[in-house]
């Protein structure tokens, strides 16, 4: 399957002659980022400037709003995007750029458009945010169709007065391109139908992605998994004719002293197994491999950026289907490393494949393990569909992740693992049960289960992205319907904060 493509991205001081659409900001106090020549063209053609034209046509400064203004002569169409107050945050700029570029794409007819984004901020952090928002706002999943996709946006320029004079700005734009492509890759994998993306094909996708980076790839098939004793992955994947895989990425640049391990849940389709889901709950379950998509795509971005940090990433890939070879409630599974698990619900399969991969990742001797998974509906109930849950055995690690998420513009909220949770997983027939007999605190119970497969002195954090990994509604900000790629930007920001000498 072809990799996703994003528009060409450039940093410019002035608008190019071939610019079809210009995106500018609108705050409560007026427009931001309107080039002088565009302002003069509006005054000459209409007798009023861009700001007054926007007000006349009812344009709003509210976040998420976008209004199309008429062109002034031969100049570009102008779109105003709401920035709210007078001092927009990087995330405000990221979202506004996404709204503007998506709106611009809707103006395309037979040919694709060149779009310039000018939001009046020249700081490197802001420029990176604008570039990321613009690129991610342009993303569209190309449907499996005999009809070619419609024209949209094929070139984006970010207008900045210091373009070409400040190296930090060029670095910001290059980083935005790499990170945005990683997010788009994760989105694309999530959006691929499950009959086309299954454990074997996903593993090959991951192998192909790594070819242009200094990443060593290892893929364990069902025979290798059986020889090594990966009882969780084999049990979950045993009900499908498309057998499981474990993908291992290893990026080890010279000079790196910190070792980060990443583990992602890769259930390419989750029917619930013998605890089968209702029809409505099954439809979007192609997204249940989003955790694996995120950690593999993020590792690729970290390698492409050349960050001085060692990263080992695991994608635990399986398809959870009911059949005569499917695992059962009350089965006792021997996991990788020897711990036994009493399976109490075949629709709690993600924690089983994750447990195998977490133990294996711990053998690599990392300084920190982060796992990412669409793990529990309980986390969605607690935090909604745009905020991920964060649980950890180490407060310093939790703080680092929250800082990384904030800098990346992604929303995570820390939840506890109270001491009374672990006894709910006690089993009479195995070392641990996979779920509690009680319904309360489901996200916390799942995290407590995963923590049992982490060495006591190893810092670890769990990101439950069951809510924000897949968006079923109308597009917002830079997020289109379908896979969101949430978590990629946070992991890259975390890796950047940890590179070089071992952090204190």
CATH number at residue 283: 3.40.630.10
Residues 384 and 436 in one domain: yes
Indicate which CATH number applies to the domain containing 16. 3.40.220.10
Domain for residue 32, yes or no?
yes
Residues 249, 344: one domain?
A: yes
Same domain, 368 and 441: yes
CB 320 within 8 A of CB 239: yes
| Catalytic annotation, pick one of 60, 207, 277, 308 | 277
Q: Is 44 a catalytic residue?
A: no
Q: Which residues pair with 156 in a beta bridge?
A: 9, 115
- Cβ(194)–Cβ(269) below 8 Å: yes
For residue 39, being part of any structural domain is answered with yes
Active site residue 248: no
Residue 427 makes CB contacts below 8 A (sequence gap 6+) with: 341, 342, 433
| Parent domain of 103 | 8-161
Rounded (10°) CA dihedral 290, 294, 300, 305: 150
Residue 453 neighbours by CB under 8 Å, 6+ apart:
335, 337, 339, 354, 355, 358, 359, 362
CA distance 283 to 315: 22
Q: What is the C-alpha to C-alpha distance for residues 51 and 53, in angstroms, rounded to an integer? A: 5
Q: Report yes or no on 269 lying in a domain.
A: yes
Whether 292 is in a domain gets the answer: yes
Instruction: Indicate whether 177 belongs to any domain.
Output: no
**By C-alpha distance, which of 426, 267, 447 is closest to 353?**
267
User: Can you read off the two tokens belonging to residue 210?
Assistant: 């790594």
| Residue at 183 is within a domain | no
Q: Give CA torsion, residues 141, 272, 416, 464, to 10 deg.
A: -10
Residues 152 and 219 in one domain: no
Q: Which of 351, 400, 451, 489 is the catalytic position? A: 351
Digit-by-digit pLDDT tens for the chain (504 residues) are 667 889 999 999 999 889 999 999 999 999 999 999 999 999 999 999 999 999 999 999 999 999 999 989 888 999 999 999 878 999 999 999 999 999 999 998 878 899 999 999 889 999 999 999 999 999 999 888 888 777 789 999 999 988 877 889 999 999 999 999 999 999 999 999 999 999 999 999 999 999 999 999 999 999 999 999 999 999 999 999 999 999 999 999 999 999 999 999 999 999 999 999 999 999 999 999 999 999 999 999 999 999 999 999 999 999 999 999 999 999 999 999 999 999 999 999 999 999 999 999 999 999 999 999 999 999 999 999 999 999 999 999 999 999 999 999 999 999 999 999 999 999 999 999 999 999 999 999 999 999 999 999 999 999 999 999 999 999 999 999 999 999 999 999 999 999 976 555
249 inside domain: yes
């Amino acid at each position: 399957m072809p990799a996703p493509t994003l528009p060409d991205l450039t940093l410019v001081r002035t608008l190019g002659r071939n610019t079809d659409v210009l995106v500018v900001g609108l705050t409560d106090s007026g427009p931001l980022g309107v080039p002088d020549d565009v302002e003069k063209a509006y005054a000459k053609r209409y007798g009023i400037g861009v700001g007054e034209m926007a007000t006349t046509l009812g344009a709003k400064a509210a976040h998420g709003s976008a209004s199309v203004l008429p062109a002034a002569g031969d100049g570009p169409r102008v779109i105003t995007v709401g920035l709210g107050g007078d001092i927009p945050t990087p995330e405000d700029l990221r979202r506004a750029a996404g709204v503007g570029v998506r709106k611009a794409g809707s103006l395309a007819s037979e040919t694709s458009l060149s779009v310039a984004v000018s939001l009046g901020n020249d700081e490197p952090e802001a420029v990176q945010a604008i570039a990321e928002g613009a690129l991610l706002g342009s993303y569209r999943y190309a449907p499996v169709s005999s009809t070619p996709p419609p024209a949209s946006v094929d070139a984006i320029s970010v207008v900045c007065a210091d373009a070409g004079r400040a190296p930090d700005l060029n670095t910001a734009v290059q980083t935005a391109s790499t990170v945005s492509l990683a997010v788009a890759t994760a989105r694309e994998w999530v959006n691929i139908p499950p009959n086309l993306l299954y454990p074997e094909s996903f593993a090959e996708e991951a192998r192909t992605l790594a070819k242009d980076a200094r990443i060593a790839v290892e893929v364990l098939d069902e025979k290798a998994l059986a020889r090594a004793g990966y009882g969780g992955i084999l049990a979950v994947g045993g009900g499908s004719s498309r057998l499981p895989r474990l993908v291992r990425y290893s990026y080890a640049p010279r000079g790196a002293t910190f070792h980060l391990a990443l583990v992602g849940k890769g259930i390419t389709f989750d029917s619930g197994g013998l605890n089968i889901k209702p029809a409505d709950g099954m439809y979007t379950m192609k997204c249940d491999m989003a955790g694996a998509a995120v950690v593999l795509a993020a590792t690729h971005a970290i390698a492409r950026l050349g960050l001085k940090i060692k990263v080992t990433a695991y994608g635990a890939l399986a398809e959870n289907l009911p059949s005569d070879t499917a695992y059962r409630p009350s089965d006792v599974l021997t996991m990788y490393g020897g711990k036994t698990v009493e399976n109490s619900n075949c629709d709690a399969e993600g924690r089983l494949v994750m447990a195998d991969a977490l133990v294996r990742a711990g053998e690599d001797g990392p300084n920190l393990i982060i796992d990412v998974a669409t793990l529990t509906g309980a986390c969605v109930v607690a935090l909604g569909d745009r905020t991920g849950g964060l649980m950890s055995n180490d407060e310093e690690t939790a703080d680092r992740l929250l800082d990384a998420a904030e800098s990346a513009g992604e929303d995570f909220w820390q939840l506890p693992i109270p001491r009374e949770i672990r006894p709910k997983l006690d089993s009479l027939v195995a070392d641990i049960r996979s779920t509690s007999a009680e319904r309360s605190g489901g996200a916390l119970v799942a995290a407590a289960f995963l923590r049992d497969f982490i060495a006591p002195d190893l810092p670890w954090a769990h990101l439950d992205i069951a809510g924000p990994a897949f968006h079923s509604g109308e597009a917002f900000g830079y997020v289109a319907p379908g896979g969101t790629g949430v978590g990629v930007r946070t992991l890259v920001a975390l890796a950047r904060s940890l590179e070089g000498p071992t952090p204190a």
